[in-house]
Structure 1
Amino acid sequence: MYLDLEIFSVQNEDSKKRLDAYISSKLESESRNYIQKLIQDGNVSVGGKVETSKKYKVKEGDTIEISIPEPEVLKVEAQDIPVEIVYEDDHMVVVNKPRNMVVHPAPGHRDGTLVNALLYHCEYLSSINGVIRPGIVHRIDKDTSGLLMVAKNNVAHNFLAEQLKDHSITRKYMAIVHGNIREDRGTIEAPIGRHPVDRLKRWVVTKNSKHAITHFKVVERFGDYTLIEAQLETGRTHQIRVHMAYIKHPLIGDPLYGVKKEKINIVGQALHAKTLGFIHPKTKEYLEFDSHLPEYFSHILEKLRNSKK
């Protein structure tokens, strides 16, 4: 079933543009990835013939027909799971995800996820990421707590996703790391990619990988441990965890990149996404939200402070 049919006639000024670029200029509310998927799935024709190559160069006089499919019906089960809503309107939601909650269903985590909770709480979510990840613009790890933005419609989703792509989202994390960081602040600029050998450590600083930048500043020192605020400039998988391990200050409790023998009783990394700022997809105003530290995190800080006395 199709929701809509868009028809365009290529003008001289657009001649020789790639097909995906041309369609992007016409369907400005849709992401390039979505448009490329439309082409790949056979939903675009040129002169009445289906064209599945995004690299096709359009010509003056070409008639481009785009069949917009109806959003796939979401099949993930809605569950009445409490979730802390920090902000909500008709376009998006900002949630404070608790620790030990997976963001979306995956093998081994079919329910009890943030998506299950959001489907119960919200009447609708964006469909760009399909039935498994409705509304999810970005993710944080299961054992990382903190703020996430979620889109209720595709226009909002694309607008927020573009800000992530442009690295214009404000994302500040609190983390407790091993060792005494002597510098008050610093920047880690080191590319992150798949580990070439160790399948457990899925990501590592390695040459010829994706550019990654993390800024950090020391908030409090505890001798053998340091509380830091880390701000992401890029958003690679496990970026803070990999970068801090790279400079020999891994997060406490980190099962992948941390120390083998942990003195502090914690399962999973001490990492909290505390601050989130972005341009609102509808009002175009800058919004910034802050969250409280979770109880487990505050409890560790209290123990570390008491040990200094």
Structure 2
Amino acid sequence: MSNDSRTQSLVFGLPWPELNDGIFYNDVVPHSDSGLTLVEFYSRKYKHSAPLQGWLQRIQNGQISVDGRVVKDPNAILSGDSVLVYHRLPWKEPDVPHLLEVLYEDDDLIALNKPSGLQVLPGGLFQQRTVLTQLCWSVKKQNPPLKSQESHPVPVHRLGRGTSGILLCAKTKVAKTRLAAYFADGTSLVGANRKAELGGTRKISKIYRALVTGLLGEDKVVIDQPIGTVRYPGVAKGLYVASPSGKPALSKVEVLERDGKQNCTLVQVEIESGRPHQIRIHLSFIGHPLLGDPLYIAGGQPRCFDSEIVDESYAQDGGYHKPTNPVPGDCGYYLHAHRLVLSHPTTNEMIYITAPLPSVLRTSYEANSLPESMSVNSAK
């Protein structure tokens, strides 16, 4: 095992513009919807986006075109195969970090140290201020326009917006396919044998640091609670929670240090499956939610479960206001993707990547030692 010469201490990122460019949503009217009015089409198909009055406002603002022509009449009759375009107006996205640290890079992949607060892919309020945008901008800055249009690095897995640490991105189609298969294989193996031993012959292994509420009694805990979804306001596809009827998930938790004065425990978590919010759900399921988690409480359920109440008021662009209940993207908890071991997608050599620990997630010994530096090793 030796230090990898391909490792570079590099930080990149461009400041965010004040406003994003808005978003253009395209639809083709199916023949079954021929004869509907413009407002009927949008308020029925996208009722989760805005109430009826909100869609009326968007149409009257001139934000919707039909076959290339702006239409402000909400009662305009639609024909089958007509092309509709809705332009969501530009807005100022919430303030988030913009700098990214490169932990490892070669011709096939790049590993980044994602800061807490930065979203990985576009979604919700964050359409421009994402890791993906910074990757695109970085390629355009380094390469001629034609070359930068060919491809750019893309994340092959997600980290929650409030989670920091290692984010793996593919630079080629082959690497993307193989790395995605690594993650999928780990999850499917858990599904095939929920009690399987961790480690084994997996192609990729992820280890996290987390700070949880309360003092864990056991030094090591294996959690195999299934994870499913429930209806929840502000989360269109449903909220992930601990559910007996959910999909298999497996986490291995190891206590690193207990703090009796602060009533919290520093833990290391190795995950074998990749269910959304798995660590947050599993640790809360055993009665030790992440310290500062605004969403999940003991039992792996949401803090607020008022799923029947919908706020019918709408914002300037006609859409619903941000939900008052906590949602998965809210930050405040302490979770860090600390170490990653993988078989290189083209060379098959073992790559070891470490993201420096935030001070709050260091043990007393680590805090009193020299600051941990980034390290990447490889062994053939």
Do they superpose with TM above 0.5?
yes
Cα offset for 1:120? 2.5
Deviations 1:53-109 (A, max 9, x none): xxxxxxxxxxxxxxxxxxxxxxxxxxx943100011111100010111011222311
Distance 2:291 2:98 in 1: 29
- Are 1:84 and 2:101 an aligned pair? yes
Q: Which residue of 1 aligns with 2:208?
A: 173
Deviations 1:214-241 (A, max 9, x none): 0000000002110000000101000000
Aligned pairs (5 A) from 1:235-274:
235-258=274-297, 268-274=332-338
- Contact kept in structure 1, 2:266 and 2:361, CA below 8 Å: no
TM-score w.r.t. the length of structure 1 is 0.62
Q: Following superposition, which runs of at least 4 residues in structure 1 exceed 4 angstroms of deviation?
A: 196-201, 295-298
Q: Which residue of 2 aligns with 1:218?
A: 255
Deviations 1:32-68 (A, max 9, x none): xxxxxxxxxxxxxxxxxxxxxxxxxxxxxxxxxxxxx
- Contact kept in structure 2, 1:173 and 1:229, CA below 8 Å: yes
Distance 2:348 2:179 in 1: 11
- Contact kept in structure 2, 1:178 and 1:252, CA below 8 Å: yes
- Contact kept in structure 1, 2:213 and 2:264, CA below 8 Å: yes
Q: Do the aligned partners of residues 134 and 210 (structure 1) sit closer, same or farther apart at CA in structure 2, a change above 3 Å counting?
A: farther
Q: Which residue of 2 aligns with 1:139?
A: 158
Aligned pairs (5 A) from 1:27-106:
81-106=98-123
Higher RCO (C-alpha under 8 Å, 6+ residues apart): 2
Q: Which residue of 2 aligns with 1:74?
A: none
Instruction: Please give the secondary structure, in 2, of the residue aligned with 1:166.
Output: helix
Q: Which residue of 2 aligns with 1:4?
A: none
Amino acid at match of 1:175: A
Q: Do the aligned partners of residues 187 and 209 (structure 1) sit closer, same or farther apart at CA in structure 2, a change above 3 Å counting?
A: same
Q: Do the aligned partners of residues 134 and 85 (structure 1) sit closer, same or farther apart at CA in structure 2, a change above 3 Å counting?
A: closer
Structure 1: segments with no counterpart, 5+ residues: 1-79, 125-130, 261-265
- Contact kept in structure 2, 1:252 and 1:258, CA below 8 Å: no
Cα offset for 1:135? 1.1
Q: Do the aligned partners of residues 267 and 148 (structure 1) sit closer, same or farther apart at CA in structure 2, a change above 3 Å counting?
A: closer
Distance 2:138 2:102 in 1: 10
Amino acid at match of 1:156: A
Distance 1:229 1:249 in 2: 13
Amino acid at match of 2:99: P
The count of corresponding residues between Structure 1 and Structure 2 is 211
Q: Do the aligned partners of residues 188 and 198 (structure 1) sit closer, same or farther apart at CA in structure 2, a change above 3 Å counting?
A: farther
Among 203, 226, 229, which residue is 2:240 paired with?
203
Amino acid at match of 1:233: E
Q: Which residue of 2 aligns with 1:228?
A: 267
Aligned pairs (5 A) from 1:259-298:
268-295=332-359, 297=361
Distance 1:140 1:209 in 2: 21
Distance 1:197 1:103 in 2: 22
Distance 2:346 2:232 in 1: 45
Distance 1:134 1:106 in 2: 19
- Contact kept in structure 1, 2:109 and 2:153, CA below 8 Å: no
- Are 1:121 and 2:160 an aligned pair? no
Q: Which residue of 2 aligns with 1:157?
A: 176
- Contact kept in structure 2, 1:179 and 1:249, CA below 8 Å: yes
Structure 2: segments with no counterpart, 5+ residues: 1-96, 144-149, 187-201, 304-329, 368-380
- Contact kept in structure 2, 1:279 and 1:286, CA below 8 Å: yes
Instruction: Please give the secondary structure, in 2, of the residue aligned with 1:202.
Output: strand
Distance 1:256 1:246 in 2: 13
Amino acid at match of 1:117: Q
TM-score w.r.t. the length of structure 2 is 0.51
- Are 1:148 and 2:167 an aligned pair? yes
- Contact kept in structure 2, 1:145 and 1:273, CA below 8 Å: yes
